[in-house]
Amino acid sequence: MTGEMRAQRAGGAGGDGGAGRHDGARGHGGAGAVELARRAADDILGALAALSAGTPGPAPGSAGAGSAGAGEAIAGRGLVVDSPPGAGKSTLVARAALRLAGAGEPVMVVAQTNEQVDDLAVRLASLSPQLPVGRLSAADYVQTERVARHPRVTVGRQPADLSGCQVIVATAAKWASLTGDAAWPWAIIDEAYQMRSDMLLRIAGRFGRALFVGDPGQLDPFTVVRTERWTGLPWDPQVSAVAVLLAHNPGLPVRQLPVSWRLPASAAPVVSEAFYPFSGFMAGTGPGERSLSFQAAGFGAGPADEAIELAARDGWALYEMPARHAPRTDGEAVAACARLAERLLARGAIAVSELAPGGRPVTGDRIAIGTAHRDQARAVRQALRDLAAAPAGGAAGPLAAELGRVTVDTANRLQGREFDVTIVLHPLSGRVDADEFHLESGRLCVLASRHRHACVVVARAGIPELLDAHPSREPVHIDVPARFPDGWEAHHSVMAHLAARTVRAW
């Protein structure tokens, strides 16, 4: 398949609505990937420009000819962009905001957390030194240092404080709490798959047209309330903003970003196959372009070292412990997670990549340990503290400090973040059953797609058997579109890949 065809299929420019299977976008590769990504981004920005030129709402015949996106402008008041992990979503948001603002259209940018808002504000201000960027914030917001450093970023509590700003960034909650009827011709909604539709309902009155950007493979928004009252309604307030948007506007174009810059060549095909079966994506780097090596030898230190060495070579390793039913905070599994992080740091892992061709030490802040539950994360943090207090290898000082910098969190909180190496406590490890929560494909997808170099999965043996004993049996509801990928199948797919990369810890 030629690059041209790939670009067409992966970019959705052929008008297949994203439903086709983009096998062409699998694989990996340097220059081809750059070109493919550039085309996709240009295509999306072109479509935006075309939408911007048209009038909101269905206005047949108003579209100009030429641009690839022009035909779809008729349909639309918006555009949805699906982005696999690490595919340059934030860059696209920033470029789109600048493009629209540059054309004289004020833009409201909606992110989900204050951290994301700060990231976007800084990114926007750095991309275009001339453009004043506004950051709306709540009364108790404490300005972060990186925001304060940018003279072009103005912080205000009300849009009136930011009258000179063409682009205003705020969290969805902040936008929703505004009073008055200030409105913007354009909105860019980041992490739209993680925003609940009731939040969109609260802010949708403020914009005419919108670009929705997000990762459909990650975790869906959730609620603590269990009710099936709205299941099947197109405006179910418990589902994601994009689901409701598309249910009411089926003609809205959906585009894909085809290249993941984060995931290495070893991971992109696995994640793409398991979690993005219909859109697919490729790695931005080729097989040899990244590497992970150790400064210190392992001295036969056992399975933990074997596992990290395998992961360094291959990108993946399954650190398998004896099968056992265990409580959620499985002491042995928790200790293993901490131990793996400790070995990575003690061995002095060096990551070589296109960003650091000369190599960069994998320090504590470049390592994450991901779990399914908060109590597991707490237990792992405690285990790290215990290791830091008494590291097995000796050399306490610096190693203890690095252990303290390791990020330990749940899948929900790791969403959108990136590390060199991740250690994943498998959601199904030691469980008696495989229920909906632990089978959710988004959870595993987040955990398995945070790394630039390698991922070590920690699990008790027997997960494939557990899966087979618990086929998904969620009820099927009328008017609820079938979810793909199915969590059960995604789990199997990942386990199948890990099977040949297993290090037995006993």
Partner 1 sequence: MSVLTALARAQAWQAGRAQPVATVRHVHVAPRPFVFVPLALAGEACAPLAAMAGDDPADPRLLVVAQPRNRTQRFAFAAELGRELLRYIGGFPAGGAGEEGAGAAADRGTAGQGAGEGGEGERAVPPDAPQVWLPNRAGIGFTRLLGRSTRFRRAEGEHAVDPVVPVLGRWLTFLAERSEHPGSCLMLAATEALALHWATGQSPAEDLNLASLIGWIDPPAWTDGREAARAAEDPLAWPPAGPATDPGFDNEVLARLIAACDRAEAGGGEAARAKAALGEALAGQLEPAWRLTWRAIGLLRALPEGGHVAGRWEADRRAFGWHAAHLRDGGPPQPRRDSAVAAARRLDSMERAAASLAVQRALDDPLVMAEHRLAGEALAGRVTAAEPDRVITGPSGRRVLRPLVTVRTHDPVSVEPGTVLAPPGRPNQHARVESVAPLGARGAGMAGASGASGASGASGAGAGAAGETEVVLELSGGMGQRLTPAPGSVPGVGDWVCYATLRDEYQPPAGFPEPEQTPWTHGGPPRPYEPTDEDAREAWS
Provide, rounded to whole angstroms, the least separation between the CB of residue 131 and partner 1.
Answer: 27
CA distance 322 to 461: 6
Instruction: Give the nearer residue to partner 1 in terms of CB position, either 16 or 386.
Output: 386
Residues in the chain: 506
- Rounded (10°) CA dihedral 118, 167, 49, 179: 100
Instruction: Give the nearer residue to partner 1 in terms of CB position, either 23 or 474.
Output: 474
Compute CA distances 479 → 179, 199, 236, whole Å. Answer: 35, 22, 11
Q: In 3-state terms, what secondary structure has residue 356?
A: coil
What tokens were used for 214?
């997000």
Cβ contact 478:294 at 8 Å: no
What tokens were used for 215?
């990762």
Instruction: Give the nearer residue to partner 1 in terms of CB position, either 55 or 126.
Output: 55
Residue corresponding to tokens 């047949």: 60
Work out whether strand 349-352 and strand 291-294 pair parallel, antiparallel, or are unpaired: antiparallel
What tokens were used for 382?
């405690």
Run of H or E residues at 208:
strand 207-214
**Strand arrangement, sheet containing 360-361:** 291-294, 349-352, 360-361
Instruction: Give the nearer residue to partner 1 in terms of CB position, either 29 or 54.
Output: 54
Provide, rounded to whole angstroms, the least separation between the CB of residue 288 and partner 1.
Answer: 31
Mark residue 88 as left, alpha or beta (left: phi above 0; alpha: psi -120 to 50; beta: remaining).
left
Instruction: Give the nearer residue to partner 1 in terms of CB position, either 213 or 267.
Output: 213
Provide, rounded to whole angstroms, the least separation between the CB of residue 396 and partner 1.
Answer: 9
Provide, rounded to whole angstroms, the least separation between the CB of residue 164 and partner 1.
Answer: 27
Instruction: Give the nearer residue to partner 1 in terms of CB position, either 20 or 237.
Output: 237
Rg for the chain, CA atoms, rounded: 23
Cβ contact 423:341 at 8 Å: yes
Provide, rounded to whole angstroms, the least separation between the CB of residue 144 and partner 1.
Answer: 16
Instruction: Give the nearer residue to partner 1 in terms of CB position, either 175 or 275.
Output: 175
Provide, rounded to whole angstroms, the least separation between the CB of residue 53 and partner 1.
Answer: 19
**Strand arrangement, sheet containing 367-371:** 407-410, 367-371, 419-425, 451-460, 316-321, 502-504
In order, the DSSP letters of 107-164 are EEEEESSHHHHHHHHHHHHHH-TTS-EEEE--TTPPPPHHHHT-TTEEEESSGGGGTT
- From the list 64, 80, 59, the residue with the least C-alpha distance to 12 is 80
Instruction: Give the nearer residue to partner 1 in terms of CB position, either 282 or 340.
Output: 340
Provide, rounded to whole angstroms, the least separation between the CB of residue 210 and partner 1.
Answer: 8
Provide, rounded to whole angstroms, the least separation between the CB of residue 192 and partner 1.
Answer: 11
Instruction: Give the nearer residue to partner 1 in terms of CB position, either 117 or 245.
Output: 245
Instruction: Give the nearer residue to partner 1 in terms of CB position, either 259 or 338.
Output: 338
Report how many helices (DSSP H) and strands (DSSP E) the chain contains, helices first. Answer: 19, 19
Compute CA distances 23 → 29, 282, 368, whole Å. Answer: 14, 10, 31
Binding site for partner 1 (CB under 8 A): 57, 77, 176-177, 197-198, 200-202, 204-205, 210, 223-225, 227, 229-230, 233-238, 241, 244-245, 248-249, 302-304, 321, 327-329, 331-332, 334-336, 339, 374-375, 378-379, 381-383, 385-387, 389-392, 505-506
Provide, rounded to whole angstroms, the least separation between the CB of residue 339 and partner 1.
Answer: 5
Q: How many CA atoms lie within 13 A of 166 on its CB side?
A: 18
Instruction: Give the nearer residue to partner 1 in terms of CB position, either 146 or 248.
Output: 248
CA distance 299 to 343: 12
Provide, rounded to whole angstroms, the least separation between the CB of residue 81 and partner 1.
Answer: 16
Provide, rounded to whole angstroms, the least separation between the CB of residue 64 and partner 1.
Answer: 23
Cβ contact 441:487 at 8 Å: yes
Provide, rounded to whole angstroms, the least separation between the CB of residue 199 and partner 1.
Answer: 9
Instruction: Give the nearer residue to partner 1 in terms of CB position, either 235 or 278.
Output: 235
Provide, rounded to whole angstroms, the least separation between the CB of residue 381 and partner 1.
Answer: 8
Instruction: Give the nearer residue to partner 1 in terms of CB position, either 262 or 431.
Output: 431
